[in-house]
Structure 1
Amino acid sequence: MSEKTCAACDYALDDTAIQVTIGGRVVEVCCEECAEKLREADAKARA
């Protein structure tokens, strides 16, 4: 079984993972801070 990791920082995910839609894909992150980092990076890439 493969372990899921945060899309932003590679931290191991547990039951508290947050799902974020980035570029039309749903990814999981470990915390709201990582979610915000991905949202900001996506917004810059689209600008």
Structure 2
Amino acid sequence: MSEKTCAACDYPLDDNAIQVTIGHRVVEVCCQECADKLREAQAKASG
């Protein structure tokens, strides 16, 4: 079984992973900082 990793930084995820909706997709990240980075990237890409 492959280990889940953060969508932003590829850090291995644990039970404290945060789910973030980007577009129509839900991804998991390791911390709030990575969640903010993905949201910022989404905002730049969409407008």
TM-score class normalised by the smaller sequence? over 0.9
Calculate percent identity across the aligned residue pairs. Answer: 83
Check if 1:29 corresponds to 2:29. yes
Q: What's 2:45 paired with? A: 45
The superposition leaves residues 1-35 of structure 1 with CA deviations (integer Å, 9 ceiling, x where unpaired) of 11000000000000000000001100000000000
For structure 1, list consecutive stretches of 5 or more residues without a partner in the other structure. Answer: none
In the alignment, the residues of structure 1 paired with residue 18 and residue 29 of structure 2 have an alpha-carbon distance, to the nearest angstrom, of 5
In the alignment, the residues of structure 2 paired with residue 31 and residue 24 of structure 1 have an alpha-carbon distance, to the nearest angstrom, of 20
TM-score, normalization: structure 2?
0.98
TM-score, normalization: structure 1?
0.98
Matched residues, number:
47
What RMSD in Å do the two structures reach over aligned CA positions? 0.3
In the alignment, the residues of structure 1 paired with residue 5 and residue 23 of structure 2 have an alpha-carbon distance, to the nearest angstrom, of 19
